[in-house]
A and B are shown apart, each in its own frame.
Chain A
Amino acid sequence: MGKTSRDYTEAVSVCELDRTTMSVLEIGDGDLVSLETIDGEVVVRARLGRGLEPGMGFIPAGPYANVIISADTWESGMPDFKGVRAKVFKAAGSRVFSIKELVAKMLEE
């Protein structure tokens, strides 16, 4: 499973959410969601996460998460890969960009 494979894309273009958040926002397992932070916006698939506290989301490390995190490292070298505040919206009718599209979009903006 290489970085350019469909398996990789499917593994990293998801956001695990807790059951409460998903039911309140009427999001089903596998539905498209849009994640917005002060640094960007990305569409991924929602997955029901086991044992997540309400209000917490988990995205695997990868290019989809990197779209919405800051590159400010607070003079440490390390960006904020964890603990980022984000808003979650249902994104029916939208689509998940392929990795190539995502990289091209990141570079052009």
Chain B
Amino acid sequence: MSRPQVLENVVCPFCGCLCDDIRLTIEDGKIVGNERGCALSKAKFLQATTDRMMSPAILQGSEFVEVSLDEAVDRAARILAEAHRPLIYGLSSTENDAHREVYRLAEYLGGVVDNTSSVCHGPSIIGTQESGEPVAALAEVRNRADLVIYWGANPLYAHPRHVSRFVRAPGVFIKDPKSERQMWVIDVRETVTSRVADRAIIIRPGTDLEVIEALRALVRGHTIDVSSVGGVSLDTLREIADAMKSAKYGVLFYGLGLTQSRGRHSNVDAAIRLVQDLNNYTKWSMMPMRGHYNVAGANKTSTWTTGYPYAVDYSRGYPRYQPGEYTAVDLLRRREVDALLNVAADPIAHFPRAAIQGLKSIPIINLDPKRNLTSLIATVNIPTAIAGIECDGAVARMDGLPLYVKKIVDPPESVLPDREVLRMIFDRVQEVSRQ
């Protein structure tokens, strides 16, 4: 038995915080200890080997038949080569080099490539395209911010160390975060985060846009001829606006409460303009609470490579972008695609029923380390290595910071990283197309 090995400063590949201070203990090629990680991080590292897809498999009738990797790749390549309008979807839980292979494949096939941001912070990107991106680095938040507002986000649940690493932690200019930094939450319901905040403001569901616009008016010194907006009294709104204007450095973190509710990108657009207005008086920044650990990276690699952050159609041989047209849910709802290559995502668990029905009569190729709901109905399942645990790669944190994730342990026997499987599929697609 070998001596336990301790690895310091490991980057956790779970959520968009990409905590880079994890201490792992490795024994006999297995991760047996995770210090500093949150519950999600512990589960990700310590249960890396559980619930895995162990062999490539092809669905025959209602049974999965285990096949060799070459056979699975051949079947996947034939499905893609024969498809008229293939969709490649996912990308947020894998590293940037795998993304590169996906764009190459999408361009070659004349297909559509979309990432999971179309059902999370896609509207944030549309808002940003309208009004700009007043983003800060997370370290800047910790060092300078004296007022932090979470709007429609529940970090204690979804990004468990976001608060303790960047908001309740001391920074260069904020020595005592408890007394020198205020943490407020604006949401439609009480949450675990709102319970520990210095102030929680509950608004009526679906009124985010109205509340933001009311705050904008108050920040600009206008009078509003109503007694409340979105269930919040005008006096309270005036207090919030005054506190925002008098902060030395404010940061607005926002979650799916803005992007998935009525208004969507208009909510984000309005919030950006509120932050712009506040910058006439003091310094404010804002940042989306990105969920999957490399969904911010998926938007970046897509923009570098295709010119657009998501919803990219190559059917004319050059990239075109249109959310609502080339986004996965819309394509499936309209029954427009005739094959799906799913990479590191789980559309069956996360799409509305009418979109899932668009998958029932088309072949699905599923690349993922673990069994998920999409693997239950996929035509071809190919297990891959877990990026950041079983293979290395580059990923992007929620504030855009690129980080290198390491290979910690070996993947299960004959399991390859996403990028290598995708390269094999690409090579085979070329061969099949030439035939």
Within 177-224 of B, Cβ neighbours of A (below 8 Å) are at: 188-191, 194, 202, 204-206
By size class, the interface of chain B is 35 or more
B412 close to chain A: CB less than 8 A: no
Q: Are B372 and A2 touching (Cβ within 8 A)? A: yes
Q: Pick from A58, A74, A75, A77: contact of B189, CB below 8 A.
A: A58
Query: B90-98, B243-251, B322-330: which one contacts chain A?
Result: B322-330
Bound: A76/B356 CA distance, A: 18
Q: Are A83 and B329 touching (Cβ within 8 A)? A: no
Q: Are A82 and B260 touching (Cβ within 8 A)? A: yes
Bound: A105/B260 CA distance, A: 26
A30 close to chain B: CB less than 8 A: no
Q: Are A66 and B205 touching (Cβ within 8 A)? A: no
Q: Are A66 and B352 touching (Cβ within 8 A)? A: yes
Q: Are B356 and A106 touching (Cβ within 8 A)? A: yes
Within 50-72 of A, Cβ neighbours of B (below 8 Å) are at: 50-53, 56, 58, 61-63, 66-72
Given the complex, which residues of B lie within 8 Å of A68, measured CB to CB? 353
Q: Are B370 and A77 touching (Cβ within 8 A)? A: no
Given A2-B50, A106-B357, residue A78 in contact with residue B118 (CB < 8 A): yes
When C-beta atoms are compared, the residue in chain A nearest to B310 turns out to be A77
Q: Are B51 and A78 touching (Cβ within 8 A)? A: no
Query: B78-86, B101-109, B119-127, B384-392: which one contacts chain A?
Result: B119-127
Bound: A49/B194 CA distance, A: 14
Chief secondary structure at chain A's binding surface:
loop
Q: Pick from B311, B354, B370, B371: contact of A71, CB below 8 A.
A: B354
When C-beta atoms are compared, the residue in chain A nearest to B373 turns out to be A3
Bound: A3/B135 CA distance, A: 34
Q: Are B122 and A77 touching (Cβ within 8 A)? A: yes
A103 close to chain B: CB less than 8 A: yes
Query: B139-147, B343-351, B424-432: which one contacts chain A?
Result: B343-351
Given the complex, which residues of B lie within 8 Å of A79, measured CB to CB? 119, 329, 351-352, 355
Q: Pick from A74, A76, A100: contact of B376, CB below 8 A.
A: A100
Given A1-B43, A52-B189, residue A71 in contact with residue B349 (CB < 8 A): no
Q: Are B373 and A4 touching (Cβ within 8 A)? A: yes
Q: Are B324 and A81 touching (Cβ within 8 A)? A: no
Given the complex, which residues of B lie within 8 Å of A3, measured CB to CB? 346, 349, 370-373
A99 close to chain B: CB less than 8 A: yes
When C-beta atoms are compared, the residue in chain A nearest to B372 turns out to be A3
Q: Are B123 and A51 touching (Cβ within 8 A)? A: no
Q: Are B352 and A103 touching (Cβ within 8 A)? A: no
Q: Name which of B257, B330, B360 has the most chain A CB atoms within 10 A of its CB.
A: B330
When C-beta atoms are compared, the residue in chain B nearest to A68 turns out to be B353
> Chain B nearest CB: distance from A105 CB in Å?
9
B261 close to chain A: CB less than 8 A: yes
Bound: A1/B261 CA distance, A: 29
A24 close to chain B: CB less than 8 A: no
Bound: A53/B75 CA distance, A: 52
Can you list 28 residue pairs at the A/B interface with Cβ under 8 Å?
A2-B372, A3-B346, A3-B373, A49-B189, A51-B191, A53-B189, A56-B189, A63-B348, A66-B350, A66-B353, A71-B353, A71-B355, A73-B329, A77-B114, A77-B122, A77-B329, A78-B123, A78-B327, A79-B329, A81-B260, A82-B260, A83-B262, A100-B376, A106-B353, A106-B357, A107-B359, A107-B377, A109-B357
Closest 5 pairs (CB-CB, A-B): A51-B190, A77-B327, A75-B324, A2-B51, A71-B354
15 additional A-B residue pairs with CB within 8 Å, beyond A3-B346, A79-B352, A109-B353: A1-B43, A2-B51, A2-B372, A51-B190, A62-B349, A71-B352, A73-B327, A75-B325, A76-B123, A77-B118, A77-B330, A78-B260, A78-B329, A82-B260, A103-B377
Q: Which residues of A contact B (CB under 8 A)?
A: 1-5, 39-40, 49-53, 56, 58, 61-63, 66-83, 99-100, 103, 106-109
